[in-house]
């Protein structure tokens, strides 16, 4: 069974479990009214059941969101594009110049990384627009991982700063670049550890890009034929402009 079928089964199983729960709760409330003849006990039991049901609904929605977000990643992997030829991003200095010329601001830097950001009114969703926060991180060669704790801390600081400025960010698009010496399986798997989360509060998308200068290729997990949202398609298009 492939990953997509497994995710679909989880989705259907979750829906089925919730339907069974609702039917069971309905039956229990009906029986309580018959047993207690609409007394205060029946109303108290109904109230307790409704409180429990609200909690179950929140768990159900969280699980359903997790399954749906998992399906996005599975479909991206299933429709993955080929590595991209590096035409422009020959060095960290080029990336710096490109980003500054395209309205990015350097936010943080140390021996491990340099981080830039750009925050703009949502140009994709035209009604009731909030902000899109685009973050680009260049991770230095000395680091073995794409995900650095210090970068997470800086992103939190940046988000807090924007909250104080009354800029409500609903879409967070993070692109992480890192030069890689060899394209072994371990490196490829770390590059594939992307994130795409869609919820009521917004979208978080992280795409890792491995720059293999020996072959002049940029390796990333992306898709030209499948997109979970217009924001994902926009992020991929922006990455291609940099590369």
Same domain, 105 and 17: no
Same domain, 188 and 217: yes
Same domain, 214 and 170: yes
Same domain, 170 and 219: yes
Same domain, 28 and 142: no
Same domain, 119 and 159: yes
* CA 181 vs CA 15, 177, 184, 217: distances in Å: 46, 13, 9, 12
The boundaries of the domain holding residue 40 are: 3-78
Same domain, 209 and 231: yes
Tell me how many domains the chain contains.
2
Give the pLDDT score at 49: 76
Tokens of 239: 């990455």
Same domain, 18 and 98: no
1 pLDDT higher than 60: no
- Over residues 163-217, the pLDDT tens digits come to 999 999 999 999 999 998 887 888 888 898 888 988 777 899 999 999 998 899 9
- Over residues 37-92, the pLDDT tens digits come to 656 666 777 777 788 878 877 887 777 777 778 888 889 989 989 999 999 998 88
- Over residues 98-156, the pLDDT tens digits come to 999 999 999 999 999 999 999 999 988 877 778 999 999 999 988 888 899 999 999 99
Same domain, 210 and 148: yes
4 pLDDT higher than 70: no
Same domain, 97 and 21: no
Same domain, 193 and 92: yes
25 pLDDT higher than 80: no
Tokens 């601001």 sit at which residue? 105
Same domain, 20 and 97: no
Q: Among the three residues 33, 61, 78, which one is the final residue of a domain in this structure?
A: 78
Give the pLDDT score at 112: 92
Give the pLDDT score at 61: 79
Give the pLDDT score at 129: 76
């Amino acid at each position: 069974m492939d990953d997509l079928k497994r995710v679909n089964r989880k989705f259907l199983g979750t829906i089925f479990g919730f339907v069974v729960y609702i039917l069971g709760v309905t039956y229990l409330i009906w029986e309580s009214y018959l047993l207690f003849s609409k007394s205060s006990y029946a109303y108290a039991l109904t109230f307790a059941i409704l409180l429990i049901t609200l909690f179950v609904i929140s768990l159900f929605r969280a699980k359903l969101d997790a399954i749906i977000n998992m399906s996005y990643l599975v479909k991206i992997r299933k429709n993955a594009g080929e590595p991209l030829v590096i035409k422009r991003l020959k060095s960290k200095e080029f990336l710096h110049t490109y980003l500054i010329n395209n309205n990015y601001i350097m936010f943080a830097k140390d021996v491990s990384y340099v981080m830039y950001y750009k925050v703009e009114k949502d140009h994709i969703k035209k009604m009731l627009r909030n902000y899109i926060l685009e973050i680009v991180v260049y991770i230095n060669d000395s680091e073995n991982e794409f995900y650095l704790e210090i970068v997470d801390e800086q992103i939190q600081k940046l988000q807090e700063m924007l909250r104080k400025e009354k800029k409500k960010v609903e879409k967070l698009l993070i692109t992480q670049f890192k030069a890689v010496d060899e394209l072994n399986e371990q490196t490829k798997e770390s590059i594939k550890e992307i994130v795409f989360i869609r919820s009521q509060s917004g979208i978080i998308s992280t795409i890792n890009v491995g720059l293999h200068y020996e072959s002049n290729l940029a390796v990333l997990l992306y898709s030209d034929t499948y997109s979970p949202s217009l924001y994902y398609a926009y992020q991929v298009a922006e990455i291609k402009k940099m590369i």
